A and B are shown apart, each in its own frame.
Chain A
Amino acid sequence: QKEVEQNSGPLSVPEGAIASLNCTYSDRGSQSFFWYRQYSGKSPELIMSIYSNGDKEDGRFTAQLNKASQYVSLLIRDSQPSDSATYLCAVNMVRETSGSRLTFGEGTQLTVNP
């Protein structure tokens, strides 16, 4: 079992719809959770960060965290063709070392159709 798992893609939604991306993680002690967007051949770009249970909204994006269920999600409202990319869920896992590596899910490829 991977430490961070995302719902299998690819995901295709029409323009203006809500895109829902899901992620589960295995380390119950994890504290920090991130969603990155990555266009093909480009670097990951931070979309959202969330640290406590509940919802966090930023423009068209809403991140949801449920630590009891070890579940993180990202909702994209009013999806635009420019949102078409791979979305990476990343978790900062608790480790014995002092580092804070990110562990990524395999990514969900989103396509927004005009």
Chain B
Amino acid sequence: AAGVIQSPRHLIKEKRETATLKCYPIPRHDTVYWYQQGPGQDPQFLISFYEKMQSDKGSIPDRFSAQQFSDYHSELNMSSLELGDSALYFCASSLATGNIQYFGAGTRLSVL
């Protein structure tokens, strides 16, 4: 069965650079979630979208923005990167809100 696809899998950036992470949800899933997981920490919710509209917002820095497109894929844009942004970024998708969330393999971002 198709799963959540994230790209790129690994990303290395310098401080103050920008990064764009992409997420393709499971087919027919209409809700996308973004989570950030620092080393040795649990995943922290950043933001979610339902039917292309932002549905919830968590601890996402103002330097980050995200959107969901007409084909339901989502992009997380990160600007003015800081060393502390180094983490695993997971995208998850579900069929409508409140249902089981399935996670992608993640993007490992390293900021040097």
Contacts from A to B (Cβ < 8 Å): 31-32, 34, 36, 41-46, 49, 88, 92, 95, 97-107
Residues of chain B contacted by A107 (CB below 8 angstroms): 42
Contact of B48 among A31, A99, A105 (CB under 8 A): A99
How many A-B pairs fall under 8 Å by CB?
65
Tally of B interface residues using CB under 8 Å: 29
B97 touches A99 (CB 8 A): yes
B56 touches A98 (CB 8 A): yes
**Given A32-B98, A43-B106, A44-B90, A100:B56 Cβ within 8 A:** yes
Contact of A43 among B33, B42, B58, B90 (CB under 8 A): B90
Contact of A42 among B92, B100, B105 (CB under 8 A): B105
**Given A34-B100, A49-B100, A99-B50, A44:B56 Cβ within 8 A:** no
Residues of chain A contacted by B31 (CB below 8 angstroms): 100
Residue among A34, A45, A97, A100 with max Cβ neighbours from chain B (10 Å)? A100
Docked pose: A106 CA to B101 CA in angstroms: 18
A43 touches B103 (CB 8 A): yes
- Give 8 A-B pairs besides A34-B101, A99-B97 with Cβ atoms closer than 8 angstroms: A36-B103, A43-B105, A99-B56, A99-B57, A100-B31, A101-B33, A103-B45, A104-B42
Residues of chain A contacted by B43 (CB below 8 angstroms): 44, 88, 102, 104
Give the shortest distance, in Å, between B57 (CB) and chain A (any CB).
8
B102 at the interface (CB under 8 A from A): yes
Residue among B31, B94, B97, B104 with max Cβ neighbours from chain A (10 Å)? B97
Residues of chain B contacted by A103 (CB below 8 angstroms): 45
B77 at the interface (CB under 8 A from A): no
**Given A104-B42, A104-B43, A46:B48 Cβ within 8 A:** no
B20 at the interface (CB under 8 A from A): no
A103 (CB) vs chain B CBs: closest residue: B45
Give the shortest distance, in Å, between B27 (CB) and chain A (any CB).
18
